[in-house]
Amino acid sequence: IAEITRVKRKQITMNSFFGQKEEKPAGPDPLFAATTEMEMYTHLFNNMAAACFEKCSSRKHKEPDLALGEMSCSDRCVSKYLEAQEKVGVVLQKANEAQALQQKNLAEMQNALGGR
């Protein structure tokens, strides 16, 4: 029972962090899964830092330090970016499910026609 709950927990949290943007790894090669997950987080972080820098810091670069407004802007930027990531993940997941359903229906239809 402990094994099952551990696997289930991993599955569910993988869905929430990992499965929303990418497919679940078909065969459980843990090294590939971990490496890919790490890459995903790296890309996420880089894109987030770049986007927030573009949106929040002024172009003039007169000072080597961030102003107070820029700092609070970047805090809010991070929070909004991560929320946007979740919402996009949900939309993608729904689209994937719809497509899978459509393909299943198509395959069933073809089987039915081929059986005649």
Partner 1 sequence: MDGVQNLPPHVQGQFMQNLEQMQMKDSLTMYNNLVERCFNSCVSSFRSKSLDKYETSCVENCASRYIKMTQRVGLRFAEHQAMQQKRAADAMGAGK
What DSSP string runs through the chain? -HHHHHHHHHHHHHHHHTTTTSPPPSS--HHHHHHHHHHHHHHHHHHHHHHHHHHHS-TT--SSS--HHHHHHHHHHHHHHHHHHHHHHHHHHHHHHHHHHHHHHHHHHHHHHHH-
Q: Which of 21, 48, 92, 93 binds partner 1 (CB under 8 A)?
A: 48
Minimum CB–partner distance for residue 97 and partner 1 (Å): 22
9 binds partner 1 (CB under 8 A): yes
Number of residues that bind partner 1 (CB under 8 A): 45
10 binds partner 1 (CB under 8 A): yes
- Which residues make up the interface to partner 1 (CB under 8 A)? 5, 9-10, 12-14, 16-18, 30-31, 33-39, 41-42, 45-46, 48-50, 52-53, 56-57, 59-66, 70-71, 74-75, 77-79, 82
